[in-house]
């Protein structure tokens, strides 16, 4: 496992957009921790399909896995 500021063990995405069909998709993709979110159409379609929606009364957060954003546009 890579330490902070190290080169990652696996290639990372160059985009911060992730297709989401379910909570399982959200957790198995680029995100390591999700709190207070649902996956549905309640905010409409953002890019395609469902979106992570943060509208609960408690804390809300989403954390990505380590990303090298130097190639992101």
**Could you state, in order of their start, the residue ranges of all structural domains in the chain?**
17-57
**What string of pLDDT tens digits covers the 73 residues of the chain?**
555 666 666 666 655 666 777 888 777 777 888 888 888 888 777 777 888 888 878 888 888 888 777 776 5
Entry pTM: 0.54
How far apart (Å, rounded) are the C-alpha atoms in residues 17 and 30?
A: 9
Q: Considering only CA atoms, which of 57, 58, 39, 59 is closest in space to residue 49?
A: 39
**Strand runs labelled E in 9-64:** 31-35, 38-40, 51-53, 61-64
3-state DSSP assignment of residue 32 = strand
């Amino acid at each position: 496992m890579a330490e902070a500021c190290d080169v990652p063990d696996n290639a990372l995405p160059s985009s911060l957009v992730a297709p989401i069909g379910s909570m399982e998709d959200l957790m198995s993709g680029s995100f390591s921790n999700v709190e207070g979110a649902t996956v549905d159409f309640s905010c409409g379609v953002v890019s395609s399909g469902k979106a992570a929606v943060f509208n609960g009364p408690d804390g809300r957060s989403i954390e990505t896995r380590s990303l090298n954003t130097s190639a992101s546009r």
